[in-house]
């Protein structure tokens, strides 16, 4: 398998917002993302953006697809479909409790408080919490406490 383009992770996700510009500002302020690229279209519409979190990258755009391709990509914000989520983004952080407190203090809705899940000595242990952004996307933040031991192939 060829490596991805320079600066891109092997896998990335895209999320859509009715007010993508406001969402980008919120994600940066509340969760700590950094804008790598933002492409604005007519009327301030966000046609494409790339937000970094460490080595990870998530693309954020205005719902409905681009101005030219509106019919070919009927993407919607969870807010526009009664809060339905079809994905939850998982992000590793150094300290789940501290990250949760930062998010809470900045106005994030905390869905699940930080908890530790220990899957036994043959697996791993994580500390995680889940938050929801203003348009209903859910974000799952996790801190690895113990890694699984190496397995034979």
CATH of the domain at 98: 3.30.720.110
Is residue 3 situated within a structural domain? no
Buried b (16+ CB within 10 A) or exposed e, 59-77: bbbbbbbbeeeeeeeebeb
Same structural domain, 127 and 67: no
**pTM score, two decimals?**
0.84
Is residue 6 situated within a structural domain? no
Report the candidate in 39, 36, 48 with the shortest Cα–Cα distance to residue 8: 36
Residue 21 sits in which domain range? 13-77
Same structural domain, 97 and 73: no
Q: What is the pLDDT of residues 44-98, one digit of tens each?
A: 899 999 999 999 999 999 987 555 544 455 676 666 667 667 678 899 999 999 9
Q: What is the mean pLDDT of residues 108-132?
A: 94
- Torsions phi, psi for 50 (to 5 deg): -130, 120
Structural domains of the chain, count = 2
| CA-to-CA dists, residue 74 to 32, 52, 69, angstroms | 28, 25, 9
Same structural domain, 96 and 148: yes
């Amino acid at each position: 398998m060829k490596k991805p383009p320079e600066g891109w992770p092997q896998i990335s996700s895209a999320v859509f917002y009715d007010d993508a510009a406001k969402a980008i500002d919120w994600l940066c302020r509340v969760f700590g993302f950094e804008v790598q690229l933002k492409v604005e279209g007519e009327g301030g519409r966000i046609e494409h953006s790339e937000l970094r979190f460490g080595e990870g990258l998530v693309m954020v755009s205005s719902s409905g697809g681009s101005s030219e391709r509106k019919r070919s990509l009927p993407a919607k914000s969870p807010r526009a479909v009664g809060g339905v989520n079809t994905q939850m983004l998982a992000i590793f952080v150094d300290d789940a409790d501290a990250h949760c407190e930062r998010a809470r203090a900045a106005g994030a809705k905390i869905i699940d408080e930080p908890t530790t899940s220990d899957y036994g000595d043959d697996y791993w242990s994580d500390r995680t919490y889940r938050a929801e952004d203003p348009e209903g996307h859910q974000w799952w933040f996790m801190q690895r406490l113990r890694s699984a031991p190496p397995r034979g192939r």
